[in-house]
Structure 1
Amino acid sequence: MKERELKKNNGLDAGLRALHDIFTVTGPQMLDIAEKFYEAMLAGLAGQKGPLKMLPSFLSVPTGKECGVFLSVDFGGTNVRVSLIELRGNGRITVIKKISTPLKEPGRYDYTSSAATGRELFGFLAEQIAGLVRPGENIPLGHTFSFPTEMRSLNQAVLIGWTKEFKTGMTEGRDITLLLREALQRQGLHGIRPVAVINDTVGTLLAAAYGDPHADIGSICGTGHNTCYLEPRPPHHNGPVIINIESGNFDMLPLNDFDRQLDRHSEKPGEQVLEKMVSGRYLGELMRLAVLDLVQKGCLFQKNSGNITGFPFKNNSLGAEHMSLMLGDGSDGLTGTAAWLKEHAGMRDPLPVELSALKTIASLLTTRAARLAAATYAGVLRRLDPFLKLPHTIAVDGSLYEKTPGFASHLRLALDEILRERAGQVTVKPAKDGSGMGAAIAAAIAAASEEML
C-alpha cells in the first residue's frame, strides 16, 4: 500500500512540476508581452486592424468638484446594480439607495439567454430604476455597460457583440442608450434622463480620479477583464480622452494546451484570449482541465474516481470562488477544501497530498493571471510615460482582485519586477464598486456639459 502511494506521489510531483513549467510567466515573457501590448495599442489608435479596439469614451477625468444627485446603472455581469448617488465634491461620494438584482433566476426568467430580447432586458432594467425614484423626479442617469461597444458620442454606444455568457437577442448592433430610454418611457419615468454610457473600466477610472489626480489607468479583474487609460494625445479629439482598450481581446500571448482546449470549447473561439487566461469567468474551468489531466494520468483521486459525480469530470464544475476557497484554506489538513470535494464531487477521503495539489494548481493559475495583467499595465504605462517621470495610479475593481487570495500581491510583485527601480512611481489600489460610482460621475460631467450648451 505504501509503495503504491509513493508511486502516486512521485507521479503527482512530476505532474505538478509540469504544470508549474507551462503556467509560469517569466520576467522576460512579461517584458515581451508589455512591448507587444504597447505596439498593439499604437496600431489600434492609428485605426489599424488588430486585437485592441482602443474605443474612445468621449470623457476625460473629472475635476473632483462635480456635485449633485445622480442615478447609476451598473450592468456588467449577471447582476444589475442600480444606485442613487450624491456627489459632494473633493472625492466625497454618498450612496443614498442601492439595489442589486440577478438577470436570471432558474425557472422564472433569464434575460441573458438568446430567448430573451433587448426590449425585455432593458424593460427589466427600467423596472429596477423605478424602485429607487419617486414619480416625476428629474434625475440625470449614467449607465455603465460592460461589453464591447462602438462609442459614437458620450451618450450613444452601439453594442458590438456580447461577451461572457450573454446571448440576449435583438441587441447586438443596437444603440444601448436608445434601448434604455425607450424602456424608461414605457415605465413612465419621463424625468429620468440617460446622459452618459460608459464601460466599467472607464467607470473605475472616473471613480478613482474623482479623489486622486494621479489616477490614469482603470482596470477590471473580476468575472471579465479589461483596462482603460487616459490617452494624452488621442487622434480626432481635442485634449485627453479616456480610451477603453478592450484588452481582454489581446492575443499575443504564450498559450498552452489547456488554454487552447478551453478556447476551442468556448462561446467564441479565438476571441477574448487574454480574458480567458486571467478572468474569473474562465479560471475555474482552466483549473478543472489541469486537474482532469492529472486524474487521467493516474496522479490524482484514483481511489475515489469511481464515485466522482461532479468536479473534475463535469464541465464548468469549478468556479473562481471555489479556487478562492482553496487558496484561503489555512486549516490543518485543508478541511475546507476536503468538505467542498465531498459535497460537489462525492470524494470522501482525498489524500492530504491531493488537497495540497489542488491548492498548488489554484495558486499557479492565479499567479499567472496576475502576471499577465501586470504585463499589459506595463504596456499602457509605456504609452503614458515611457521613463516613468511622473506618479501614476492604477485603479482596479472586480472580485478576482478583491477576493482571490494572492492575486493582488502577485500583481504588485509582477509590476515591481517589470518596472524595477521606477516601480515606486506606480500605485495600484482597489476601487470597490468603482464602475457604479463612475457612472454617476459620468452623468455629472455630461449634465454639466448640457448646461453649458
Structure 2
Amino acid sequence: MAKLRKALLAALKSFLQRHANGHTILPLQSLDDFLREAEERLLGPINGDGLRTFASDLKAQFRERLEVCGENMLPSFNHLLPTGNEKGQYLALDVGGSTLRVALVELRGREASGRESEIIQMDSFKITPEVKKLEGMAFFDWLAARIQGVVSKQINVAQGPIPMGLAWSFPVEQTSLGGGLLMGMGKGFLATEGLQGQDLGEIIQFACKKQGLAVQLGAIVNDSTAALLSQAYIYASTHFGLILGTGSNIAVHLPVSALSRNKYGSRPASWFDSASHVIVNTEVSMFGKGVLPLTRWDELLNASHPRPDFQPLEQCLSGFYLGEICRLALVEAINSTGVLGGQLPPSLEKPYSLDTETISRIEADTSPSLEEAISYFESQHPSPSHRPTVSDITFIRDLASLISRRSAALLAAALFALWELRHEAEAEAEHHTSGTITSTRTVAAVEKSDGGVVVSVSEEAETPRTKVAFNGSVIEHYPQYRSNCQQYLDGLVAQSRHPGCVDLVPAVESSLLGAAVALASAVEAEKAAS
C-alpha cells in the first residue's frame, strides 16, 4: 500500500504542477525519458536471467498447487488423447457467453493430410439478453429446440440416442467425462434458477426428449481442453492448450501421478485403472502472486480491482487488462510529459475505457503518417482542445508495445514452466513404475507444409517437439504477439536441460472440433472396452 500511496501522490503532484493557477507548466520529463523508464519498469526485470528466474518461481507455485485442493490445477475426466484414427461424424455444441453453435463435425484421421477434421454443417444462434433471462428449464428448452432444428436436417434420429460433445464456457463440477453438476453461470444468465447442483447432461437430455430427440452427452470440455484435443488429433505431440483473449488459461496433459490423490475427489477406482495421464485445467491466471515483476501501474490496477490478487498473472497478460495498464501509464504521461497536449481526453478518465482493441490497432499502424491510428484513437477518445499528432500516437504505440511484449514474455515463461514441469513429472512417473529414470519419450513430427499449415505425422525424432494449441483474440490477432511469445519461449527452451522445441500452433474452431474429438475418443474407448 505504501507504494500505491507514493504513486498516487506523485501523479497528483504532477497534475498540480502542470495546472497551477490555471496555467500549464512545462513538462517534467520528455517523452523519450518516460519511455525509457517504462521500458526499465516493464521489461527490465525479465531481461537477462530475469525471465528464467520468474519461470522457476512460477513452476514452484505450480508444483505446490498439484498437491492441494483449490481452484486451480484441476484434473478433468479427460485422460485420453486422440490416436488420430478416430473417424466418423459427430454432433458438437459450443455454448458461450453470447453465442450457441451446433455443428456436425467429420473426423477423417491423421492420414487425411490437411483435411483431418472439418465442420461440415454449423448453425449459430445469438444468445440475446432475452434468452439470458430465460429461467431454469426454459433456457435449456430453447437450447434443445435449436439442437433439434440442426439435427433434423443432418442426422437419422431413428438410429437411437445421438452422442453429443459439449464445449461449455461456464463453471461445472464434472462428475464424469459426460456429466457434471450445474453451477452458477454468471454473465447475466438465469438458466441455473432451480437447477443448480443438478446434472448438466441429464438436463440437456430431458430438454431434448421434450423435442422428440434422444441424445446422450458423451463429453464435456472447457475451452483450453478443447484447444488441446482439437490439435492433438492432428499432431501427436500436442500436450498443451492455450487460451489468450479477454481471459487466459492453459490445459496440460500430465501423468495421473503428478497430482495428489485428493485432487481427484471421489471418482471411481475404474477411472484410475484406465487412466495413466489426465488433462489438467491449470487456471493459470490465478498464479504469480509474490513473484510477478510488477510496476506502479500494475499496483494501481490491482488496488482498484474488485478482487485484488485473485488473478495476478491474468492482470499482466490478458486482453481485458492490457488496455487498462496502458491507460494508467498514459494518464501519468499526460501529466508529466505533455503528450496529447497535456490534456486528458474526458473518456480516458473512466477505468478500462482504453481497450486492448484500440492499442492493438495503434500498434498495427506502421505507416509514417499513422493516419489510421490517429483517426481511430480520436474517434474513440476525442479531446475538445487537442487533435492527436504523429508524435502523440507514436508515443502511445511505443508504450503499448512495451506492455504487449511483457505480456508475451510472461506467457512464454508460464508455458515454459509447465513444459519443464511436464518433463519432470513424466520422468518421475517412469521412475515410479520402472524403478529407473529414463528419458521421456516424446512423439514428435516429420513436418511438411500444406498451404502454410503444418501437418504432423507421428514419428520418434531426434529433437522432441511439443506443440501448444492456441486460440483467442490476443494471441491470434494482436500485432507481433505470437512471434514475440515464440521468440521468448525459444530462448527459455534453449537454456533448459531438457532437449526439445516448443511450437505455438493455431487451433481454429477449437471449441467445436475439441468437443467432437473428446466425444470420438470416448466412443472408441467404449468400443475397445466392450
Q: TM-score, normalised by structure 2?
A: 0.74
CA distance in 1, matches of 2:203, 2:305: 28
Indicate which of 287, 299, 304 corresponds to 1:250: 287
CA distance in 1, matches of 2:236, 2:375: 47
CA distance in 2, matches of 1:382, 1:128: 44
Hey, what does 1:342 align to over in structure 2?
Answer: 378
CA distance in 2, matches of 1:179, 1:258: 46
Hey, what does 2:63 align to over in structure 1?
Answer: 42
Relative to structure 1, the CA distance from residue 23 to residue 119 in structure 2 (aligned partners, 3 Å threshold; closer, same or farther) is: farther
Q: Does the residue aligned with 2:309 lie in a helix, a strand or coil?
A: coil
Hey, what does 1:403 align to over in structure 2?
Answer: 477
The residue type paired with residue 249 of structure 2 is N
Indicate which of 273, 278, 282 corresponds to 1:241: 278
CA distance in 2, matches of 1:366, 1:110: 36
1:288-327 equivalence runs, <5 A = 288-297=327-336, 299-302=338-341, 304-305=343-344, 308-310=345-347, 312-327=348-363
Q: Is the 8 A contact 2:467 2:502 kept in 1?
A: yes
Matched, 1:134 2:152: yes
Deviation at 1:219, TM superposition (A): 0.8
Hey, what does 1:146 align to over in structure 2?
Answer: 169
Deviation at 1:436, TM superposition (A): 2.0
1:104-143 equivalence runs, <5 A = 104=128, 109=130, 111=132, 117=135, 119=137, 121-134=139-152, 137=157, 138-143=161-166
Hey, what does 1:60 align to over in structure 2?
Answer: 80
Relative to structure 1, the CA distance from residue 421 to residue 230 in structure 2 (aligned partners, 3 Å threshold; closer, same or farther) is: same
The residue type paired with residue 33 of structure 1 is F
Q: Is the 8 A contact 1:60 1:230 kept in 2?
A: no
Hey, what does 2:406 align to over in structure 1?
Answer: 368
Could you tell me the percent identity over the aligned residues? Answer: 28
Instruction: Return 5+ residue gaps in structure 2 as ranges.
Output: 1-22, 262-271, 425-438, 441-462
Deviation at 1:36, TM superposition (A): 2.8
Relative to structure 1, the CA distance from residue 180 to residue 7 in structure 2 (aligned partners, 3 Å threshold; closer, same or farther) is: farther
Deviation at 1:333, TM superposition (A): 1.9
Deviation at 1:121, TM superposition (A): 4.7
Q: Does the residue aligned with 1:109 lie in a helix, a strand or coil?
A: helix
Indicate which of 437, 449, 466 corresponds to 1:392: 466
Deviation at 1:116, TM superposition (A): 6.1
Deviation at 1:144, TM superposition (A): 1.4
* Cα deviation 1:125-158 (Å, max 9, x = unaligned): 4344334220773532111123454332112234
Q: Is the 8 A contact 1:249 1:271 kept in 2?
A: yes
CA distance in 2, matches of 1:267, 1:173: 27
* Cα deviation 1:385-420 (Å, max 9, x = unaligned): 258873211111111111111110111111122122
Relative to structure 1, the CA distance from residue 189 to residue 316 in structure 2 (aligned partners, 3 Å threshold; closer, same or farther) is: farther
Q: Is the 8 A contact 2:173 2:180 kept in 1?
A: yes
The residue type paired with residue 301 of structure 1 is L
The residue type paired with residue 143 of structure 1 is L
Matched, 1:20 2:39: yes
Matched, 1:261 2:297: no
Q: TM-score, normalised by structure 1?
A: 0.86
CA distance in 1, matches of 2:59, 2:304: 29
Deviation at 1:86, TM superposition (A): 1.0
Hey, what does 2:98 align to over in structure 1?
Answer: 78
Q: Is the 8 A contact 1:304 1:350 kept in 2?
A: no
CA distance in 2, matches of 1:277, 1:175: 36
The residue type paired with residue 508 of structure 2 is K
Hey, what does 1:419 align to over in structure 2?
Answer: 493
Q: Is the 8 A contact 1:82 1:129 kept in 2?
A: yes
Q: Does the residue aligned with 1:333 lie in a helix, a strand or coil?
A: coil
The residue type paired with residue 30 of structure 2 is G
The residue type paired with residue 394 of structure 1 is V
| More divergent stretch after superposition (128-137 vs 90-99) | 128-137
* Cα deviation 1:301-343 (Å, max 9, x = unaligned): 23654xx342x22333232222221111122321111111221
Hey, what does 1:33 align to over in structure 2?
Answer: 54
Relative to structure 1, the CA distance from residue 176 to residue 212 in structure 2 (aligned partners, 3 Å threshold; closer, same or farther) is: same
CA distance in 2, matches of 1:154, 1:85: 19
Relative to structure 1, the CA distance from residue 303 to residue 266 in structure 2 (aligned partners, 3 Å threshold; closer, same or farther) is: closer
Q: Is the 8 A contact 2:221 2:515 kept in 1?
A: yes
Hey, what does 1:442 align to over in structure 2?
Answer: 518
Q: Is the 8 A contact 1:74 1:80 kept in 2?
A: yes
CA distance in 2, matches of 1:143, 1:130: 15
CA distance in 2, matches of 1:356, 1:202: 39
Deviation at 1:85, TM superposition (A): 0.7
CA distance in 2, matches of 1:20, 1:247: 25
Matched, 1:228 2:251: yes
Larger Rg: 2
Indicate which of 386, 409, 419 corresponds to 1:381: 419
* Cα deviation 1:409-433 (Å, max 9, x = unaligned): 1111111221225675222211122
The residue type paired with residue 377 of structure 2 is L
Relative to structure 1, the CA distance from residue 257 to residue 201 in structure 2 (aligned partners, 3 Å threshold; closer, same or farther) is: same
Deviation at 1:293, TM superposition (A): 2.4
1:173-184 equivalence runs, <5 A = 175-184=199-208
CA distance in 2, matches of 1:426, 1:410: 14
CA distance in 2, matches of 1:259, 1:180: 42
Deviation at 1:170, TM superposition (A): 6.5
Q: Is the 8 A contact 2:228 2:251 kept in 1?
A: yes
Instruction: Return 5+ residue gaps in structure 1 as ranges.
Output: none
Q: Report how many residues are paired.
A: 437
